[in-house]
Amino acid sequence: MKARTRFAPSPTGFMHIGNLRTAIFEYLVAKHNGGEFILRIEDTDQNRKVEGAIDFIYNTLNLCNIKIDEGPNNAGEYGPYIQSERLDIYKKYAEELVEKGDAYYCFCTEETLEAMRQKCDARKVPFMYDGRCSHLSKEEIAEKLKNGEKYVIRQKMPKYGTSIVHDIVYGDVKVDNKVLEDQILLKSDGYPTYNFANVIDDHLMHITHVIRGNEYLSQTPKYNLLYEAFGWEAPQYIHVPMVLGSDGNKLSKRNGDASFMDLYNEGYLPSAIVNYLVLLGWSPDTNQELYTMDELIKHFDEKRISKSPATYDIKKLQWFNHKYINTLSDEEYLKFIRPFLTLDVSDKTEEWINKLLLIYKDHLSFGKEINDLVGIFFNDDITISKENEEFLNSDDAIPIVINAYREEIEKLTEWNTDALSEVINKVKEKTGVKGKLLYMPIRIKISGVEHGPELPDELYLIGKDKVLKRLS
């Protein structure tokens, strides 16, 4: 069956990685089944609306190589794709339900509802609208409408029996109809609730698979009652478990970089983020870990989405990012990494900068990290730890080796890595010292630490003046 899926974010100007993972799953289900991926903007809560948020969503999906077939900026047959532009559609369908007897006008005022709430509180039962307006006569309703009384439209729930929905991840979900509230479908300002709009839109947009966070699972039987009332076929449901932070709590800004843009701005590649996220709660039938989008499309199977919550692990994401940085060509890599280097390079040549950046291609976990890794080439002063100081005094050969380096380096007329490799060979010949004693003392003297890039590269980047100063 050809699938049609939709990603339905609210335009908040923020893309939580849990939402992005849902978008990826939707995209993969659509494309695995040769179908379409639709973007629908759910802006019925106008208070949460943020200027420019739609562009932000387009930009994010585009960076992630997720192509939108239909959406606000991609005309399709079933638009508009922004809910606030579909108010007349919701009104029409809500009225149709009233007509059929599956919904009713409710004129209860805030005060009436408050009194009802207090009664429930006193009885220590959860608040539930008591359905009183469902008993209004045709004449009473006509009169109230004529007088311009404010109203909402509520769904009339069955009072007995059970409703069952089937979910691909969670199996059958049953609810007792008598616990279902006569929920509001259309608010008094003419806006639909999510609970109504999602059904109308998913049906009219011919959505075959609804993929969303499992917080909607318990509500889904209500949606199916709406499909039944209209005589429509319900879509297949795929509710996905939450993404938790490493502290076991729901992922939020507090327990990590939970937004795509934060990660992107830190220097995580979108391809790595996508690869990491898709494996968060979904397991492929191979041991492969790195996937192109085409491979994901080929392998994706919604039946392998797990019910248990997934834990977001930045270290694992860094591992993926490191791998993806490594797959970039040198040219792509330099283009990617250059903007992250924020240290002062005004006195350096392009050649020097590129050499520096390329040396760290194999070591980087994320873009911004470059500044920490290359610090030794920018600091004027270096600090040598007590342990390293002790090492420098631990062997009589060390001052001899250092002296030999200084002499050979002073003689150099050209400053490049070939000449510096030659220097190392000469020091080795001259002193008869090799291995750790040949490399470590000079590394420590010039950088303060015992590890770094290849010694000729390290010497080259630190520069002749600084090297000589630190050796003397």
Which residues of this protein are in contact with ligand GLU, per CB under 6 A? 8-10, 42, 198, 212
* Least CB distance to ligand GLU at residue 212 (A): 4
Closest CA relative to residue 102, chosen from 194, 266, 228, 187:
228
Nearer to ligand GLU, 198 or 224 (CB): 198
Smallest gap, in angstroms, from Cβ of residue 242 to ligand GLU? 12
Q: Identify which of residues 194 and 340 has a Cβ nearer to ligand GLU in the complex.
A: 194
Q: Taking the complex as a whole, how short is the minimal distance between the CB of residue 216 and ligand GLU, in angstroms?
A: 6
Closest to ligand GLU by CB, 221 or 267: 221
Q: What are phi and psi of 152, to 5 degrees?
A: -120, 165
Distance CA 361, CA 330 (A): 8
Distance of alpha carbon 85 from alpha carbon 75, whole angstroms: 14
Task: Give whichever of 39 and 152 is closer to ligand GLU, judged by the CB atom.
Answer: 39
Of residues 9 and 452, the one with the C-beta less far from ligand GLU: 9
**Gap between the Cα atoms of 376 and 69, Å rounded:** 49
Taking the complex as a whole, the smallest distance from the CB of residue 10 to ligand GLU amounts, in Å, to 5
CA atoms within 13 A of residue 298's CA, in its CB half-sphere: 6
Catalytic residue among 150, 250, 253, 307: 253
Q: Which CB atom, from 207 or from 269, has the smaller least distance to ligand GLU?
A: 207
Q: Which of 62, 55, 64 is nearest to 17 (CA)?
A: 64
- Is residue 269 within 8 A of residue 324, CB to CB? The reply is yes
CA–CA gap between residue 451 and residue 455 (Å, rounded): 9
Q: How far apart are CA 207 and CA 3, in angstroms?
A: 7
Burial classification of residue 390, based on how many CB atoms lie within 10 Å of its CB (0-12 exposed, 13-18 middle, 19 or more buried): exposed
Instruction: Name the residue nearer to ligand GLU (CB basis): 198 or 271.
Output: 198
Q: Smallest distance, Å, CB 198 to ligand GLU?
A: 5
Return the structure tokens found at 163: 């409703």
Is 315 a residue of the active site? no
Q: Min. distance of Cβ 179 from ligand GLU in angstroms?
A: 22
Residue 8: CB minimum distance to ligand GLU, A: 4
Active site residue ranges = 253
